[in-house]
Chains A and B, each alone.
Chain A
Amino acid sequence: MFEIVEARTLARGIKLFVIEAPRIARKQKPGQFVILRLDDRGERIPLTIADADATAGTVTIVVQAIGKTTMLLSMLEAGDSILDMVGPLGKPSEIENFGTAVVVSGSVGTAMAYPTARELKRAGNKVISIVGARSKDLLVLEEEVRAVSDETYVVTDDGSYGDKGLVTDKLKELVAAGQVNYVLAVGPVPMMRAVANLTAPSKIKTMVSLNSIMVDGTGMCGGCRVLVNDSSQFACVDGPEFDATQVNFEVLMQRNNMYREQERASIERLQADPEAELKRIRDSVHSHECAAEAAAVSHE
Chain B
Amino acid sequence: MSNPPTKVPSHNPLPNKERVKLPRQRVPEQEPQVRAHNFQEVNLGFPEEQARQESLRCIECSKPGCIEKCPVSVDIRAVIDLILAGDYLGAASKVREDNALPAITGRVCPVDDQCESGCVLGKKGEPVGIAYLERFVADWERETGQFGSPVSAPATGKKVGLVGSGPASLACAGDLIQMGHQVHVFEALHELGGVLVYGIPEFRLPKEIVRHEIHVLQRRGVVFETNVVVGKTVTIDELMQDEGFDAMFIATGAGLPRFLKVPGEHFNGVYSANEFLTRVNLMRAYRFPEFDEPLYPCTDRDVIVVGGGNTAMDSVRSALRLGARSASIFYRRTLVEMPARKEEVHHAKDEGVHFEMLVNPVEFLGDEKGNLTAVKCIRQELGEPDDSGRRSPVPVNGSEFVTPCSVAIIAAGTSANPLIQSTTPGLATTKRGYISANEETLATSKPGVFAGGDIVTGGATVILAMGAGRKAAKSINAYLTGLVVVPN
Residues of A within 8 A of B (CB): 23-24, 27, 37, 41-44, 68-69, 83-89, 215-223, 225-227, 232, 234, 237, 248, 250-251, 254-255, 257-259, 262-263, 265-266, 269, 295, 298-299
Contacts and interface: CB of A to CB of B under 8 A. Distances in A.
A43 B266 contact: no
27 contacts: A37-B190, A43-B292, A86-B188, A86-B227, A87-B229, A87-B233, A89-B229, A215-B283, A215-B293, A219-B417, A220-B255, A220-B274, A221-B275, A222-B256, A222-B257, A222-B272, A222-B274, A225-B259, A225-B265, A225-B266, A226-B266, A251-B266, A255-B268, A255-B370, A257-B370, A263-B294, A295-B218
A293 B82 CA distance: 38
Contacts of B293: 43-44, 215
B266 A269 contact: no
Interface in B245-278: 255-257, 259, 265-266, 268, 271-272, 274-275, 278
B85 interface: no
Most chain A beta-carbon contacts within 10 A, residue among B227, B266, B268, B294: B227
Given A24-B233, A87-B233, A221 B227 contact: no
Cβ-closest 5 pairs across A and B? A254-B370, A262-B294, A221-B275, A43-B292, A84-B190
A217 B255 CA distance: 12
B289 A266 contact: yes
Given A23-B234, A41-B284, A86-B229, A221 B188 contact: no
B229 A69 contact: no
Contact of B291 (A41, A89, A299): A41
Interface of B: 188-190, 198, 218-219, 221, 223, 226-229, 232-234, 255-257, 259, 265-266, 268, 271-272, 274-275, 278-279, 283-284, 288-296, 369-371, 417, 419
Contact of B234 (A27, A44, A85): A27
Contacts of B221: 299
Give chain A's interface secondary structure class: mixed
Contact of B289 (A216, A221, A262): A262
A252 to B, nearest CB: 9
A102 B289 CA distance: 42
Contacts of A262: 288-289, 294-295
Contacts of A248: 266
Contacts of A254: 268, 369-371
A43 B292 CA distance: 5
A192 B271 CA distance: 26
A274 to B, nearest CB: 14
B188 A232 contact: no
Nearest to B190: A84
A69 B190 CA distance: 16
B481 to A, nearest CB: 24
B186 to A, nearest CB: 10
Contact of A265 (B265, B268, B289): B289
A38 to B, nearest CB: 9
Nearest to A40: B291
Nearest to B187: A86
Given A220-B256, A220-B257, A41 B296 contact: no
A216 B278 contact: yes
Contact of B419 (A37, A219, A227, A265): A219
A42 B417 CA distance: 26
Contacts of A237: 419
The B interface is mostly helix, strand or loop, or mixed, namely: loop
A89 B227 CA distance: 11
Contacts of A220: 198, 255-257, 274, 278, 417
Contact of B292 (A41, A84, A86, A255): A41
A263 to B, nearest CB: 7
Given A86-B229, A298-B218, A232 B417 contact: no
Contact of B283 (A23, A44, A250): A44
A219 B255 contact: yes
Nearest to B279: A215
A58 B355 CA distance: 53
B157 to A, nearest CB: 16
Contacts of A265: 289
Nearest to B256: A219
Given A85-B227, A86-B190, 14 more contacts: A41-B292, A84-B190, A86-B189, A87-B232, A89-B232, A215-B283, A216-B188, A219-B419, A220-B257, A225-B259, A226-B266, A232-B259, A298-B218, A299-B223
A262 B299 CA distance: 14
Contact of A221 (B218, B266, B274, B294): B274
B278 A227 contact: no
Given A254-B370, A269-B289, A218 B218 contact: no
A9 B227 CA distance: 27
A77 to B, nearest CB: 21
A11 B369 CA distance: 33
Given A43-B293, A222-B259, A86 B233 contact: yes
A250 B267 CA distance: 11
Contacts of B289: 262, 265-266, 269
Given A43-B293, A218-B188, A232-B266, A27 B227 contact: no
A295 B279 CA distance: 28
Contacts of B257: 220-222
Contacts of B292: 41-43, 68-69, 266
Contact of A27 (B218, B223, B233, B265): B233
Nearest to B254: A220
B351 to A, nearest CB: 25
B361 to A, nearest CB: 15
B153 to A, nearest CB: 17
Contacts of B296: 258-259
Contacts of A295: 218
A255 B189 contact: no
A46 to B, nearest CB: 13
Nearest to B272: A222
Given A23-B233, A216-B278, A258-B268, A43 B283 contact: yes
A237 B417 CA distance: 10
